Structure 1
Amino acid sequence: MIKTNLNYSKTLSMVVLLSLAILASCKKDQDPVDPVKPEKPVTPATPIAPIRPVTANSNPYVTQFFEYTPAPGQFINTGFGTAEVAKTILKGKDNLLTLGAWGGYVVYGFDHTVLNGYNKPDIIVFGNAFNLFAEPGIIWVMDDKNGNGKPDDTWYELRGSKYNQEGYVRNYTVTYTHPKNDTSDVPWRDNHGNRGYIKRNIYNTQPYFPKWVTGSTYTLKGSLLPSTNIDDSNPDYIISRSFDFGYADNTSGGDKVDISNAIDKNGVSVKLKGVDFIKIQTGVLYDMGWLGEQSTEVTGVADLSIVKLDDQ
């Protein structure tokens, strides 16, 4: 029988345990450690435009004029087609402004945010349409996301009845060229290879190309509406019918539009709580013979929630 020294055994056990602990520690240090995964980048939420509430002093009509860029036309450079005339549209509906041929536009602002009401139209645009003769224009809206009081955010087209129908073209552009002399027709070309002229007539003899446009050409862009509403089979009696809904200068008495029909540059619906600015743009490119070019006209723009109309 072999005898064991108890103290020696205890000492040996402690050494063994300490060695195992050190070994385990070294092994743990050598094991790969999962790196701390960085948090996924957070996509900033779409800024919500500040709401400027309606007050007792709010005007139902547009009160700010920002830009007038018409296309050439028979009433440009006359008492219906200058920046000074565009300013007379403010705060009422007693004057008339022409936007010229396709692409011509005007930009206005309200003194408050026009709220997007539930399931009802929000804005009315007054024009010069009458029975069997309309000159439909595209309507664009903008909310003041950056809150600086300027129309420098994103424009959204209000989808009308001809959206995505045959003849409707998004991202359409037309370049107008200053003619060699002011008594000549104004040449145009589009981004689809088409060319033509804004033709002069015997009734309006002033220059049709805007006098204040510098340079020999300028280009307008937007959405093109089909010209299927126009019937010129009888040149002496040309008809230009209204579209079903959603356009300026489209029906007699004004055109009511819904902010809920706003779409982005990809045609996707956009939810806007309200809008602060509006742009109206001639939507049809068509020569109507002795009647001249198809040209949207504007006489006023108002917030339906506070304006008093004759039919209300």
Structure 2
Amino acid sequence: MNTKHYLSITLLASVLWFGCKKDRKIETPVVPESNQFVTSLVEYAPAPGQFINLSLGSMSAAKSILGKEGLVSLGAWGGYIVLGFDHTVLNRKDLADLMIKGNAQSNFAEPGIVWVMKDDNKNGKADDTWYEIAGSEFGKTGYLRNYEVTYTRPVPSTGDVSWKDNQGNTGIVGANTVHSQSYYPDWLSNTELTLKGSLLPSSNINMTNPGLITSMPFASGYADNLVSGDAIDISNAVDKDGKSVVLSGIDFIKIQTGIQANLKAVGELSTEISSVADLSLVK
């Protein structure tokens, strides 16, 4: 065989082999031992809130939803939790892929934005690209991408937590008489906490009757939104420019409180999560 042709064939074979090897490693397959629920806590970074520094807003609460159902609060806007599965959740054609449950009521939802990530570099870490799940409010009036809020530790520590955003707005996470502890995460040493993400409209909130404040659920695509739980379709993922992306599956999920609202005596609007599951494994 001609040496030049031999080298060309060898090079082509190597490329094909490495390509096939890479393709085979794209997903972590489901095995009999795979858990339907998330199994790893990557990060818990709540915003200030009335449940923070209590059992519901602690690292123990964050771990309570690993492999089973529990309950954890994410605090005010921007507070988030990052979780991982022990397998790749496949993007099923024309079907929802994830089920997220919270503690929503029929007239009081606390919608959280869902982000998903595929472990493209296969290092087992959530250090690849986050994609937002475009829910029903995506692009509507009141929805804002690249939103930022900075919270300031209050003095005294049990006072209202003030905030300012990158749109020139200010406000507070107001302390109430029911929860008297510090609302700013005690484990943080910094006096300021800046969180980034997307903002959901607060048009679903009705405070005209102080005795019955309501926060009606959105149509779809958010956590802690529907009483029965929220089915999430990976096919609704969008990139940083808001363009649809095609993902074969995901390995990590981030859930983030999506609305900034001081509901007076009721407290801040804060997303709570009780479980996150792969719908293909839910019996």
TM-score, normalised via structure 1 length: 0.83
- 1:268 Cα deviation after fit: 0.7
1:115 aligns with 2:95: no
1:284 aligns with 2:259: yes
Of residues 150, 155, 177, the one that matches 2:125 is 150
1:62-103 residue CA offsets vs partner (Å, 9 max, x unmatched): 00111000000000000100112101110111x210000000
1:171 aligns with 146
1:61 aligns with 2:37: yes
1:277-311 residue CA offsets vs partner (Å, 9 max, x unmatched): 00000000001111000000000000000112xxx
2:79 aligns with 104
**CA RMSD, aligned part only?**
1.2
2:27 aligns with 51
2:61 aligns with 85
- 1:50 Cα deviation after fit: 1.4
Letter in 2 for 1:104: G
Identity across matched positions, percent: 55
1:134 aligns with 109
Partners of 1:214 and 1:183 lie apart in 2 by 16
1:163-201 residue CA offsets vs partner (Å, 9 max, x unmatched): 000000000000000112112100100000000110000
Of residues 270, 278, 292, the one that matches 2:245 is 270
- 1:144 Cα deviation after fit: 0.0
Letter in 1 for 2:273: V
Partners of 2:130 and 2:192 lie apart in 1 by 24
2:196 aligns with 221
Partners of 1:215 and 1:225 lie apart in 2 by 27
- 1:260 Cα deviation after fit: 0.2
1:140-174 residue CA offsets vs partner (Å, 9 max, x unmatched): 00000000001010100000000000000000000
2:281 aligns with 306
Partners of 1:118 and 1:183 lie apart in 2 by 49
Partners of 1:306 and 1:101 lie apart in 2 by 32
1:257 aligns with 232
Give the secondary structure class of the aligned counterpart of 1:280: strand
Letter in 2 for 1:301: V
2:185 aligns with 210
Give the number of the structure whose alpha-carbon radius of gyration is greater. Answer: 1
The runs of at least 4 consecutive aligned structure 1 residues that moved more than 6 Å come to none
TM-score, normalised via structure 2 length: 0.91
- 1:131 Cα deviation after fit: 1.1
Give the secondary structure class of the aligned counterpart of 1:305: helix
Higher alpha-carbon deviation: 73-82 or 176-185: 176-185
Letter in 2 for 1:90: L
- 1:276 Cα deviation after fit: 0.2
**Aligned pair count?**
262
